[in-house]
Each structure stands twice: as C-alpha cells, then as structure tokens.
Chains A and B, each alone.
Chain A
C-alpha cells in the first residue's frame, strides 16, 4: 500500500483515436505507468479499448524522438531546439520572399491533438499569409460531413442509445470508434434492430439482426432503392416532407427507377432483402439512427452516395429526433481561425479551383493536388511545408508520388513522436508532444458535454502545438496572432463566451453539459443550415457549380467498364483494433497480436489463384504494385472478387496501388475502396 501512496492520479481524455474516452492516468516518479477507463465519463462508462492503454507505450516509447534533428546530406544531426526554430524561420522567410507567401504550407495530422490543434494550424497558415492549410481531412471524415451538410446543413450525430433502429453503413465501430459499440448494443438489448451494411462481415456485423453484404461503391443505389420502397409503402413522414424539405417531387421521381430488381443488379443484394430492410427501417420511424462510415467516401461517386443516404432522413423524419440523427449544438467556443479577419481565397488555396465545394464547406486544401503542385510548380510554386503528426507517405494515395513530392520540397519540417516514413523525408524533424503532454478542449456532441485533456507529463524539447506556433510566429514577425502565454491562457480565451471556466471542467471529469439537448430545433427559429434553410433533397448550390442537382447514382468504374487485366476489386482501409491509420505499428504488443499485413480474399478466389493463407502475392493496379501475404477468410466474410487490405503498413503499403487522380468530382476524395487490381502469386525463388 505504501507504494500506491506515491502514485499520482489524473483524469483526462484519450487521444489514441477520435473517441476521446474518459481516462484515469497514473503517474509514478514522473512517469506514466497506467491508463484505465474513467468510470464516471458519460461516453465510455469506465471502459476503454487496448488501443487506449497503448497510450502508456506511446508516451514512454524507447524509440520516441526526443532531440531535434537536422538533415545534413544523408545523415541526421542533433540540433539545439531554439536554433532549429531560428533556422526554420529564416528559411520560411526566404522561401516566401522568393516564391510568394503561398509557397509555404501547413499540414495537420491526427497523431498529436484535435480541435485546438487543427485551429492553431489554420491560424498559423493564415498568419504567415498563406492560404495553404492541408490535413488528413481531404481524404477522411470530411466527405461524409459534406455529403450530409449538402442535404441537412450539418452532419448529425447518431443517438444510438435511444434508437429503435441502428443502421451502421460502411463502418466497424468496435475497431474504429470502440465505445460507440456499447451504445449500439445497449440499444439492441432494449429491442432495437441493428442493420449493418458493409462489403465485409465486420465485427459489428456479427451482432447485426440484418447483415447486408453490398458490392463496393454501390451504396447509393441501395439508398435510393430503400427510398423508393419507403415512398411506395407510404412509410414516410408527410409532416416533415411538406413542412421542412426542398425538392421532394423531383427526388421522388428520380428514385422511382430504383426498383428492388434494379437495386439487386447494381448492388448484388437480393431484391427481397431491399424491400425487407426498407420496411424494417421505415416501421421504426422516427427513432432511426443511420451512421454513414468511412467506407462510403472513398469512391468516384462518394458524395452522391452519401447524399442519397442522407436523404433517407428526410423521408423518415428522424432528423434531430430523440433516438434519431440528432443535430447537436456546439459550445460557444471562440474560434482561432482567421478566415474572417484575413480571408485568403484570392490567393488560390490549392485545390479550391478543382474542388470548390471542399473549400467552401471546410476550408481544406486538397492534399492530392498539393503533391502535383509541388512536382509541377503549377499553378504556382509550393516549396515549403510544416507537417505535424501525420504520415502521408503511408496514408495518402499513390505513395510513390507522395514521397517524390515531399522530397522535392525546399523546406520540409516534420513534428513527430516517431521516425515515420514521412519524417524520414524531412529536412528538420522536431520532437512533438503527445496528447498526455498538452491540454486541449474536447466535446462529445451526442451528450453535448465538454471536457479538458490535461498536461500530465512533459519532456524536454517536446513543445506542444501552441508553443511551437507561438515561438515560430515570434521569429516570423506575426507574434500578434499568438498573444497567449501558454495553452492555459489560450483555453481561457476560447472559453470566454461560454460561461465555463477551466476549473469547472476540471471539476467535471465526466464531461460538463454545456447546453441541454433540444430536439426538432428546425421547427423553432433555427432553420437548417442549408442555402434554402430546408432539408435539401436536391441542391441548387451544386447545380450552380455544374454538379448533380439530385443525389445521382453513378455505378463504379469496375462495374461499368471492367478491365479484364485487373479482374479483382480492392477495398482498402478496414480498421484493426490497435491501429489508428499508420500509427502504433512500432509497439511490440501489436506486433505479437498481428505480426503482418495481409490481403483478405474469398476462398473461391484463393482456389482460382492457387494460394492459401500466408502465401505472398503481388497486387498490381494501374498505379503500382505491392507484395503482401494472403489471408483466406471465411466465405461469408467477403464477396468473391472483392479483396481488402488495411492501410498503414510500411512492410506492405497498400497506397502504392491506390489512385490519387481518380477523385469524387465534388469533394475530390480519392478512389481507395474500389480499386481494380490483379493478383499474382509470387514465385518463391529462394529454394530454387
């Protein structure tokens, strides 16, 4: 017991993925020794996943970068941190003087922080006069956000806890958002139907009442088919449609063509299943929560497929309902971005001309266009980048091009915890602070609660994001944008209009409710945040840009123009329980549990190829190829002809075969989940 007395206990929030579960952090002699779930937290109720516990491994990892490094020829040399800042500032100034302010860019990854980190990156970019803020978001999350926002003005949050029907579409919460699983299965216990629509029998599909196995990229056809059936059965909310929607007539006319037979042809789902699930969903109106996952956004018709799913909310009347898709109100935090004070759209943010919707909605530059810009200098030179906690060399499509582009930068600074494939390409690698080394605000929209993560330990040389930007801003002559002493002062400023103090947040580790939940807010004065203020079955905004007015279904290329040379279709990016994208591969525990990457294939395909589990195959697309071991899965797990590879493995990097230049026309998201490939067994020459 004596030992326990010297152990300090802190409450905080986990940042090993986006779930931000409440955690207890235990510190002994200045070292974090354990992380457990925080019982009172409203999101996770004391439970965490093993990835959360890996926070201990991450913060104490022996391979952490703790010294600033400078590239000298082909070697790394240690450099004093302040000197590194001096040198970087001089180089940025020189680069901007030579090539223009917009030749410098910032890239925000997800390994270090969250909301405040993102806003600081945006703030710094504009502070130094460049419009070029990049992030992982131009190929993750934002596609669904835009798809939904086009229809409802918002991406609603699923109120699974109170739902009567949970539709999990292209997502596997047990691995990607672990503690969402509790809410979904808690609803199941109370009698809710669980419908899982996926190309793979995922972990959540194992507990579904209905598992609907769909061909990759055909989700729009299913959504339109469900809509047609709901309308035919008159299983729709007339009150919502007549009072709060725009374009129903045209939409209803369009969906009429998506008969169960047509949907079967497009999606591979039996016609009677389409009718059945439409009724299972419709009969539970309005307490229906539909979650559109990452599986939907990496397709050539991604946005319209997501719009088609979003449109179901208009028929079902489940929008902003208890147990439906709830439009959470946000806390009144002060924003750190400078889009109002210092708009820079006239400087042509990269990608904003090709994908204006992406910039309109999210002020995101397009990373894939960014790579081309670096390599071609068109439409203007892009010569410098500071990247924090991201690993595009593994996680962006067409890795070969990404590596070539990042290498070509005149100045490439990476702030990281570990020597990633991306950090290896940098001119300077600066040690970063993990989520346990800085404080940040977080909120859980479904409960409308706000919380604060805490600075629990610190390491010499590991400046957290705010300090990094503040120090660099001072050297760049833009310190006026970073007046706060530290993150505490900054947080206090952000909270100023909320009436909430840091002490309040510390006193409420379970999450402080910033506003009570209200439903059907669109009925009051708060119209939906769309151009018409209504639920938009059709979009005049998109039409003005020359895009589809309706949530039009265009089948994927592998179906409409099959290429006999590339007969298989590859989906990438299914999650594993310990990994968040490219991260955590360096921890021994994970290596023990999952020692190698693999390509999941159907037993029939394995037989045709003459391969079994463990055999190495070469996977080739028109972009490139990668060698990878085979995993033959049970015949119910994946459809014949369909394959899956999880991203983030440097040993077999699947993004060597994915497309950076086949994009959804509206948001520019890359084609990652229906890539045409060929598979060849690799002849083992070692025995010959």
Chain B
C-alpha cells in the first residue's frame, strides 16, 4: 500500500493541492470541495497540510452506521460510497484528525480516496511536500518529517 506523506518543512501553502483536489471533485477551484487542506499558521510560522491517513483501524469506517465507508482493496484507501452515505456525520465526529468534511449540497460526507491510486494533490504539489510512496518508506519518511517539524517548532519558539 502507498500513502501520501506531507513534509511540513517543504509546504509553502500555495494551495495547488487544494485547487487540484477541488477540481477533481467538483470541476472548480473551490476550497470547500477539497479533501486536502493546507494552512499557514502565522503565529508559529508553520505550514500544515492535512489529509486522510487511511488508518489501519479507521474509526470512521467502524462507526459508520450505513456501512458506507469501506477499504479499497487495490489502493488501500478508506473510501466513502456516496450512494450509501446517509449524511449522519458520525464519521466526521469520529475522525481524530478532522480529515472528513460535509458536502452541504449533496448532504454526504466527503474524504480523500487517493484518486484510484494517482492522487491529484501530489501531481500538483510543486514544492515536493506531498509524496505518494510505499507504506514501508512512508513510515520512515514520516518519522524524518515529524522530527523536522519538531525541530522547526522549537526553532521558531526560540526566535
């Protein structure tokens, strides 16, 4: 399985990923439709991209009363089947990372599905902060990235 990894020391919050995702979902550059969110936090000077981590034990999948959330066996992605979603928003409450949002027009929950194994956000990430890599490498990669994140936080706090 491959994961999207996010390097907070490379993201410049250009929002290409958000617009590319929104375009894929809704044919428009509307951030509300994006399944990835990036934000720059001025006070701590941190760029933070956020998207679904496709957890091993996915609480959203477990809690969904409509059985609308499944794991895609090919890509490993946790996916919402919109046709089955009843819009109860339980998954949104269950996700500890806030990576599921509600589509107010179609009244269903929305989240990243890894674009059938070719995530659009990664293809449009011009800084190289987003990578789509094998799980084994991603654990290693995430640890390095997390260490850099901690270093950057403490460096900014010391300034």
Within 8 A of B (CB), among A419-474: none
* Size bin of chain B's contact surface: 20 to 34
Within 8 A of B (CB), among A184-208: 185-186, 188-189, 203-204, 206-207
Known contacts A203-B12, A206-B12; A593/B126 CB under 8 A: no
CB < 8 Å neighbour of A592 from B7, B15, B28, B126:
B28
Within 8 A of B (CB), among A588-624: 588-590, 592-593
In the complex, what residues of A have CB within 8 A of residue B28's CB? 588-589, 592
Known contacts A589-B29, A593-B19; A48/B10 CB under 8 A: no
In the complex, what residues of A have CB within 8 A of residue B42's CB? 634, 636-637
B45 on the interface (CB 8 Å rule)?
A: yes
Closest chain A residue to B42, Cβ basis? A634
In the complex, what residues of B have CB within 8 A of residue A186's CB? 128
Could you mark each residue 35-72 of chain A with 1 if its beta carbon is under 8 Å from any beta carbon of chain B, else 0?
01100000010111110010000000000000000000
A530 on the interface (CB 8 Å rule)?
A: no
Q: Check if B19 sits within 8 Å of A47, measured CB to CB.
A: no
Q: Check if A50 sits within 8 Å of B13, measured CB to CB.
A: no
Known contacts A47-B126, A174-B126, A185-B129; A204/B12 CB under 8 A: yes
A103 to B23, CA, bound (A): 48
Closest chain B residue to A211, Cβ basis? B45
Within 8 A of A (CB), among B1-36: 7, 9-16, 19-20, 23, 27-31
Closest chain A residue to B45, Cβ basis? A206
With both chains docked as a complex, state the minimum distance between the C-beta of A588 and any C-beta of chain B, in angstroms: 7
Q: Check if B29 sits within 8 Å of A593, measured CB to CB.
A: yes
Q: Check if B45 sits within 8 Å of A50, measured CB to CB.
A: no
A247 to B120, CA, bound (A): 53
A178 on the interface (CB 8 Å rule)?
A: yes
CB < 8 Å neighbour of A590 from B7, B12, B29, B47:
B29
In the complex, what residues of B have CB within 8 A of residue A49's CB? 14, 16, 124, 126
In the complex, what residues of A have CB within 8 A of residue B124's CB? 37, 47-50, 53
Q: Check if A178 sits within 8 Å of B126, measured CB to CB.
A: yes
With both chains docked as a complex, state the minimum distance between the C-beta of A646 and any C-beta of chain B, in angstroms: 15
Q: Check if B47 sits within 8 Å of A53, measured CB to CB.
A: no
A589 to B28, CA, bound (A): 5
A305 on the interface (CB 8 Å rule)?
A: no
* Size bin of chain A's contact surface: 20 to 34
Closest chain A residue to B20, Cβ basis? A50
B40 on the interface (CB 8 Å rule)?
A: yes
Known contacts A206-B12, A207-B10; A182/B126 CB under 8 A: yes
In the complex, what residues of B have CB within 8 A of residue A398's CB? none
Closest chain B residue to A179, Cβ basis? B126
With both chains docked as a complex, state the minimum distance between the C-beta of A43 and any C-beta of chain B, in angstroms: 11
Closest chain B residue to A209, Cβ basis? B155
A181 on the interface (CB 8 Å rule)?
A: yes
Could you mark each residue 1-41 of chain A with 1 if its beta carbon is under 8 Å from any beta carbon of chain B, else 0?
00000000000000000000000000000000000110000
In the complex, what residues of B have CB within 8 A of residue A577's CB? 14-16, 19
**Secondary structure class of chain A's binding surface, majority of residues:** helix
B127 on the interface (CB 8 Å rule)?
A: yes
A175 on the interface (CB 8 Å rule)?
A: yes
Q: Check if A50 sits within 8 Å of B47, measured CB to CB.
A: no
Name which of B10, B29, B40 has the most chain A CB atoms within 10 A of its CB: B29
A134 on the interface (CB 8 Å rule)?
A: no
In the complex, what residues of B have CB within 8 A of residue A206's CB? 12-13, 40, 45, 47
With both chains docked as a complex, state the minimum distance between the C-beta of A596 and any C-beta of chain B, in angstroms: 15
Could you mark each residue 160-185 of chain A with 1 if its beta carbon is under 8 Å from any beta carbon of chain B, else 0?
00000000000000110011011001
In the complex, what residues of B have CB within 8 A of residue A636's CB? 42
A578 on the interface (CB 8 Å rule)?
A: yes
Within 8 A of B (CB), among A563-586: 577-578
Known contacts A47-B124, A48-B123, A185-B10; A178/B30 CB under 8 A: no
Q: Check if A174 sits within 8 Å of B10, measured CB to CB.
A: no
A188 to B123, CA, bound (A): 21
A186 to B9, CA, bound (A): 10
Known contacts A47-B123, A182-B128; A589/B23 CB under 8 A: yes
In the complex, what residues of B have CB within 8 A of residue A207's CB? 9-12, 47, 127
Within 8 A of A (CB), among B35-63: 40, 42, 45, 47
With both chains docked as a complex, state the minimum distance between the C-beta of B40 and any C-beta of chain A, in angstroms: 6
Closest chain B residue to A587, Cβ basis? B29
In the complex, what residues of A have CB within 8 A of residue B77's CB? none
A182 to B122, CA, bound (A): 12
B112 on the interface (CB 8 Å rule)?
A: no
Q: Check if A203 sits within 8 Å of B14, measured CB to CB.
A: yes
Could you mark each residue 249-262 of chain A with 1 if its beta carbon is under 8 Å from any beta carbon of chain B, else 0?
00000000000000
A178 to B31, CA, bound (A): 20
B125 on the interface (CB 8 Å rule)?
A: yes
A44 to B124, CA, bound (A): 10
Known contacts A53-B20, A588-B28, A589-B28; A188/B126 CB under 8 A: no
Closest chain B residue to A185, Cβ basis? B10
Q: Check if B20 sits within 8 Å of A182, measured CB to CB.
A: no
With both chains docked as a complex, state the minimum distance between the C-beta of A188 and any C-beta of chain B, in angstroms: 7
Q: Check if A188 sits within 8 Å of B9, measured CB to CB.
A: yes
Q: Check if B13 sits within 8 Å of A178, measured CB to CB.
A: no
With both chains docked as a complex, state the minimum distance between the C-beta of B159 and any C-beta of chain A, in angstroms: 11
In the complex, what residues of B have CB within 8 A of residue A189's CB? 7, 9-10
With both chains docked as a complex, state the minimum distance between the C-beta of A280 and any C-beta of chain B, in angstroms: 14
Q: Check if A178 sits within 8 Å of B16, measured CB to CB.
A: yes
In the complex, what residues of A have CB within 8 A of residue B23's CB? 50, 53, 589
A185 to B131, CA, bound (A): 14
Name which of B10, B12, B42 has the most chain A CB atoms within 10 A of its CB: B12
Within 8 A of A (CB), among B106-159: 123-129
A204 to B40, CA, bound (A): 12
Closest chain A residue to B128, Cβ basis? A182
In the complex, what residues of B have CB within 8 A of residue A179's CB? 126
Q: Check if A188 sits within 8 Å of B10, measured CB to CB.
A: yes
In the complex, what residues of B have CB within 8 A of residue A48's CB? 123-124, 126
A470 to B126, CA, bound (A): 39
A655 to B10, CA, bound (A): 34
Q: Check if A181 sits within 8 Å of B123, measured CB to CB.
A: no
In the complex, what residues of B have CB within 8 A of residue A36's CB? 123
Closest chain B residue to A589, Cβ basis? B29
A200 to B124, CA, bound (A): 25
In the complex, what residues of B have CB within 8 A of residue A188's CB? 9-10
Q: Check if A185 sits within 8 Å of B128, measured CB to CB.
A: yes
With both chains docked as a complex, state the minimum distance between the C-beta of A601 and any C-beta of chain B, in angstroms: 16
With both chains docked as a complex, state the minimum distance between the C-beta of A47 and any C-beta of chain B, in angstroms: 6
The contact sample of 8 A-B pairs, CB cut-off 8 A, is A36-B123, A37-B123, A47-B123, A181-B12, A188-B10, A577-B15, A589-B28, A592-B28
- Nearest first, the 4 A-B pairs at minimum CB distance are A593-B29, A178-B126, A589-B29, A203-B12
**Chain B residues within CB distance 8 Å of chain A:** 7, 9-16, 19-20, 23, 27-31, 40, 42, 45, 47, 123-129
- 10 further A-B contacts with Cβ under 8 Å, apart from A47-B124, A50-B29, A174-B14, are A37-B124, A48-B126, A181-B12, A181-B14, A182-B126, A207-B47, A207-B127, A577-B16, A578-B29, A592-B29
